[in-house]
Amino acid sequence: MRDVIVAANWKMHTTPADAGELAATIAGRTVATGVTRVICPPFVALAAVRDALRASQAGVDVGVGAQTIHHELAGAYTGEISAPMLAGLATWVIVGHSERRRDAAETDALIGRKLARAIDAGLRPILCVGEQLAEREAGTAIPIVDAQVRAALAEVDLAATAAGGLVIAYEPVWAIGTGRTATGADASAMADAIRATLAALGWPDGAARLPILYGGSVTSASIAEFLAEPAIDGALVGGASLKPDEMAGIVARAGITAEARGLVTTAPRERAG
């Protein structure tokens, strides 16, 4: 059975002074048995978030993730962070986010190298893929995402990546901060296409076991439509992840999905906070 995952991408928000308190508040508001929770703050706030979660009874099982890594292990790359540098700070990492593709000109091949570094370092990766508006309107959304998945996985050992717990997040770029919305059916169709790509690549159990998240401006009001789709296993949350009330609603709905899928084997813990 696939994990149900809610990952918070804080992007370029928070500082070390306020990130820990926010993380602890969110952890306390989002206790839901069967749901894997991850918070991905800016690099400078990783330690603060890690420490705050460790000190919180509700946060001890919340994962900490980085928002990107460099494709090399070390070298003359001013301002960059390599996978080994995250030891003790994070256990998850996002690679290939649409904003990194757009702002840092990250190519599919480069993202594949980052994915390989993450797996080698023991970081659980969330690989982001998704199409632009023009590509969807042209009817090429599925071929575009198929190519992104194939290029990223060309750089890695499939068996090792499977063991490393790869997660894929489908983020339709045209539905992020634009006012346009994707539907649950859109996300489900793309998830099916991604799993078909994995099966064609010979991925070990990939078509059935790999979690696929939705990441297109998710809110507590919209999450139910996506989690109602059996092919969708959670969400990569952007702006809403900075709001405890929003995260509480999103994770609560994810908890319903986890229970429906048989992932809840014990009584939920009492909510803290």
Domains of the chain and any CATH numbers: 4-260 (3.20.20.70)
Q: pLDDT digits over 193-231, tens only?
A: 999 999 999 886 667 889 999 998 899 999 999 999 999
In 11-41, which positions are buried (b, 16+ CB within 10 angstroms) versus exposed (e)? Answer: bebbeeeebbebbbbbbbbbbbebbbbbbbb
DSSP state of 45: G
Tokens at 246, concatenated: 């929003």
HSE, side-chain direction, 13 A CA sphere, residue 188: 10
Residues forming the active site:
97, 171
Question: CA-to-CA distance for 64 and 41, rounded, in angstroms?
Answer: 8
- Does 27 score more than 80 pLDDT? yes
Question: CA-to-CA distance for 53 and 8, rounded, in angstroms?
Answer: 14
Q: pTM here?
A: 0.94
Q: Give DSSP secondary structure letters for 251-273.
A: HHHHHHHHHHTT---SPPPPPP-
Question: CA-to-CA distance for 203 and 131, rounded, in angstroms?
Answer: 23
Query: Could you identify the residue written with the tokens 């494709």?
Result: 71
Q: pLDDT digits over 90-119, tens only?
A: 999 999 999 999 999 999 999 999 999 999
Q: Are 63 and 38 in contact (CB under 8 A)?
A: yes
